[in-house]
Structure 1
Amino acid sequence: MGAGIAPADASTKPGADNHGGLVNMDATPTGGKAATHAARGATTVSMPAPTGPYKVGTVSLHLKDTSRTDPYVPGHQTRELMVSLWYPTDSTTGHSLAPWMPSLTAAHYLAGLGVRAGSLTLPTTAGHVLAPVDTKAGKLPVLLYSTGLHSDRAMGTALVEDLASRGYLVVAVDHTHDANEVEFPGGRLETDTMPSNAHSSDTLAVRAADVKFVNNELGQIANGKNPDVDGAKLPTGLLRDVDMTKIGMFGWSLGGAAVATSMQADSRIDAGADLDGTFYGSATSENLSRPFMLFSSATHNRNDDSSWATFWSHLKGVRYDLKMAGSAHLTFSDNEVLLPQAANQLGLSQSQVQQTLGTIAPDRAIQVERTYLAAYFDQELLKKKSSLLSATSSSYPEISFVK
C-alpha cells in the first residue's frame, strides 16, 4: 500500500500505521489489476474549484537542510525537501495551470496503481504557476500541510488550494523517502526508503524537524531572501509578504499526528488541526496550550481512540472535537475526489467506493471540510469569530461536536 486511493481494509483505518492509501488492486474485493480494466476507455479526473474570493497561484521550491542528514538513506546525505506554495493572485494571464502531480511523480504513482499509460489522466489544479502574489491581500498568514504516511503532498490539494483562495499562503510539504515519490529538479525521483519496521513516533519526529526547517525557510522569504537551493524564480510579490506571526498547520492521518508533534517542537505554530490521524509519541504525554481542532470521520473519535482521549486531556488552550457523519478515513484526502471518478479504471464498483469513502457525497464532503477548516483558522489566526465553532449548524448537519 502507498499514497493515494485505497480499498476499505484495515490498513486505511485511523489507528493503522499505514495511512497513505494507494490502491493495491490485488487487495481490493475484486482481486483484479487496474490495468485489466483500461480497455473501458480513458478517464480524466477533475478537481472541485476553490471557493474563496481570490484566484490561486503556486510554485514548488527545492529546500536543503544542511544541519541534518536524511535518516532514510545511507551515506550521511543532507536532508532535502520539496514543498509547494499556494497563494492568492489577481493576475493569471500567461501563467499555466499546475498539474496535480509533476510528470515523473505522476507516472510513478499511476504505475503503482497498475493503471495502463494513457488510460487515466490525473487532475489539473486551480494553481497558476508563478502567478504574482495579490499584494492587496496584505501580508499572508501561513498554513502548513502534512499528508498521510507514504502519501504525496498532492493528496491535500482540494483543501490546500481552497485555503489559498481565501487569502492564505499554504505550504504543502513532501517528506522525502517517507512519501512514495518526490520529484526534484533535473528529473530526479526519490521514492519511499523508510524501513518497514520504523516506529510512527520516530517518523513523526522526522516530520516535525522537516516542518520546523520549512518554517525557517519561510522566515527567509519574509526577510526578502530566496531559499530555493537552485535559485528558482519566486512569484513576484512574495518576498517580504509572508506573515510569520500567524502560522497554522493541518494534516491528514499521520500528517494530522505530525501537527501535534510539530507544534511541540516549534512554538511559532499558533494553531493546529488533525484530520482523522491517530497520535503517537510525545503528543500523548505533553501539554499543549495553543488552539487545536480534532476533525474525525464517522467511526473515529476520542471515545474510541485512546490516543485522542489522552491528547485531549493535554490540550490546555482552545480545543474543538468535530465529527463528520457519513465520512471515512480517506474522506479527508484527495481520495474523496479521485476515487469516485477513477473507479471504472480501477475496477471498483460503486458499492466498493462507498465502502471505502463512506456515504457522504464527495462534493459535499469537500465543501464541509473546506468550510470548517477555514472557519477554524480564520477564527484562531485572524480573530474572525465563527458561529460554526460554537454550536451545531442547520446548514451543516453532517457536523457534530463530540461530547
Structure 2
Amino acid sequence: MRKRSLIAVFVAALCLLGSVSATAASATATPRLHLPAPTGRYAVGTQDRYLVDRTREDPWAGGPRELMITLTYPALPGGRPAPYLPGGIAAAVNAQAGSALGAGPFDFGFTTPARAGAPMLPGRHPVLLYSPGAQSSRLLGTVLVEQLASEGYVVVSLDHTHDALAVDLPGGRVEPSTLPPSSEEVNRKLIATRVADVEFVLDRLGLDRVGMFGHSAGGFTAAEVMAADPRVVAGANLDGSMVFNAAAGRFGRAATEGLDRPFLLMSAGDHSSATDPSWASFASTQRGPLVDIHEPAGEHGSFTDYEAWLPQLGADPAKVRAVIGDVDPETMLRKEKAALSGFFDSHLRKRRDLNPR
C-alpha cells in the first residue's frame, strides 16, 4: 500500500506537499504550539553549523555541496531559548501541513526546551547521527533528538540539501527541495548522495564508533551508511523502506546483504517486516543483532515531531489520523524514546534494556 517507492511513498504519509489553499491561508492561526520537555537528567544545548564539501559537486543543483547540521548535546547552564523552526523552514512546513490538513497557517514561532549556544557538558559522550526523511527536515526530529541529548548523547542532525524540504543556509538563504520525479535512477542517486553527505560529516567532525538513526529515507540511509562505513557501529531505521525499485524487487545493499552490526527496525501502521519485502530480506540476511518493533496503531508520521504537535492544532481528526494514526501521542513517543535509548545504550554503553515501556 504505502512506502513501496522511495520518494513517492516516503513522502505520501509525512510530506503531503502542495501550496496552502486560499481558504487555508486565510484561516485563523491556532494557538502557539509546544514540544514536550525531554525527560533525561541533563539540560540540553544546541548549535547549528554550516559545512561545505568542496570536493563534491551538488548533484541536484551544481556548485560545491553545502550542508547544515545541528549539534544537540548535554549542556551546562547558559545560552538562550532555541527557536524551533527558522522562518524559511516554518513556511515550508506550513505549506506541507496546510496541504495535508486543509487548515493553517500555524504558529511555529515557539522555542524548544533546548538552549541555543549553551556550553557542552564536559566529558566523553556517545555520538549519534540523525537523518530525516526525503523532503522533510532535520528539525522535524527535534523531540527524539533532544530526548537522546538529555540522556547524555551528542546528536548530529543533518539535512540533505535539495532533497530536504527546505534548508536554512547562511545569509538568510533557504534552499528548497528540487528532487525530480521518482525513478530507480533518482532513488539510487538520492541514497548515494545521502551516504556521501554522512561520510563527509563523519570526516569533518573526526567521528568514529558512532550510532545512527533516521526516519523514512533517513532510516534507509542509516542502513546504507553502515553497509559502506564501519565507523557506524549500530543503526536504527524508523519506518523506512529500503528499496530502489519496488516492482523489480531491487533493494539497497543492506537489505540484500544484511549487516554484521546491531540494527533496530521500528515500524507503524500497515508497514512492517511482514508487509515490506525489503525489510523481510534484511531480516533474513542480517548477521548482527536485530530488534524489530511494530506499533500497529501508529503511522508513518508518528516517528517525527508531527506526533507531538499535530494533536495540538484542532484539525480534522481524520486528516490527523492519516499522518500519525490512532495511537495515543504520549504513549507512542514514550515507546520511541525507550526503544532508541535502550537500543543505543545496549550497544554504545553496554546496558541491556530493549523493551519499550
Do both share a fold (TM > 0.5)? Answer: yes
C-alpha distance in structure 1 between counterparts of 2:232 and 2:106, whole Å: 42
Query: Which among 71, 82, 88 is matched to residue 104 of structure 1?
Result: 88
Query: Which among 141, 148, 155 is matched to residue 170 of structure 1?
Result: 155
C-alpha distance in structure 2 between counterparts of 1:172 and 1:366, whole Å: 19
Who is 1:362 aligned against?
Answer: 329
Given that 1:48 and 1:363 are in contact with CA atoms closer than 8 Å, whether structure 2 keeps it comes out as no
Aligned ranges for residues 363-378 of structure 1 at < 5 Å? 363-378=330-345
Given that 1:293 and 1:320 are in contact with CA atoms closer than 8 Å, whether structure 2 keeps it comes out as yes
Moved over 3 A (4+): 22-27, 111-119
Matched, 1:60 2:48: yes
Given that 1:251 and 1:257 are in contact with CA atoms closer than 8 Å, whether structure 2 keeps it comes out as yes
Matched, 1:208 2:208: no
What secondary structure is seen at the aligned counterpart in 1 of 2:282? helix
| Structure 2 segments unaligned to the other structure (5+ residues) | 244-251
- How far is the alpha carbon of 1:367 from its aligned partner? 1.3
**Over aligned residues, Cα RMSD in angstroms?**
2.3
Q: 1:246/1:103 Cα in 2 relative to 1: closer, same or farther (>3 Å)?
A: same
Query: Which among 319, 340, 358 is matched to residue 290 of structure 2?
Result: 319
Query: Which among 32, 44, 47 is matched to residue 32 of structure 2?
Result: 44
Give the aligned length.
340
C-alpha distance in structure 2 between counterparts of 1:318 and 1:111, whole Å: 40
Who is 1:258 aligned against?
Answer: 221
Q: 1:85/1:197 Cα in 2 relative to 1: closer, same or farther (>3 Å)?
A: same
TM-score by length of 1: 0.79
C-alpha distance in structure 1 between counterparts of 2:37 and 2:340, whole Å: 16
C-alpha distance in structure 1 between counterparts of 2:182 and 2:302, whole Å: 27
- How far is the alpha carbon of 1:117 from its aligned partner? 8.8
Matched, 1:148 2:119: no
What secondary structure is seen at the aligned counterpart in 1 of 2:181? coil
C-alpha distance in structure 1 between counterparts of 2:3 and 2:306, whole Å: 15
Matched, 1:127 2:114: yes
Q: Which moved more, 1:331-340 or 1:81-90?
A: 331-340
- How far is the alpha carbon of 1:78 from its aligned partner? 0.7
Given that 1:43 and 1:121 are in contact with CA atoms closer than 8 Å, whether structure 2 keeps it comes out as no
Given that 1:46 and 1:122 are in contact with CA atoms closer than 8 Å, whether structure 2 keeps it comes out as no
- How far is the alpha carbon of 1:23 from its aligned partner? 4.3
C-alpha distance in structure 2 between counterparts of 1:349 and 1:104, whole Å: 26
Letter in 2 for 1:247: V
Identity, % of aligned positions: 39
C-alpha distance in structure 2 between counterparts of 1:287 and 1:119, whole Å: 42
CA offset digits 1:105-128 (Å, max 9, x no partner): 223432454599975234421221
| Structure 1 segments unaligned to the other structure (5+ residues) | 1-9, 220-243, 397-403
Q: 1:129/1:26 Cα in 2 relative to 1: closer, same or farther (>3 Å)?
A: closer
C-alpha distance in structure 2 between counterparts of 1:292 and 1:337, whole Å: 25
C-alpha distance in structure 1 between counterparts of 2:260 and 2:147, whole Å: 28
Q: 1:314/1:118 Cα in 2 relative to 1: closer, same or farther (>3 Å)?
A: closer
C-alpha distance in structure 2 between counterparts of 1:314 and 1:83, whole Å: 33
- How far is the alpha carbon of 1:103 from its aligned partner? 2.2
What secondary structure is seen at the aligned counterpart in 1 of 2:232? coil
Q: 1:118/1:279 Cα in 2 relative to 1: closer, same or farther (>3 Å)?
A: closer
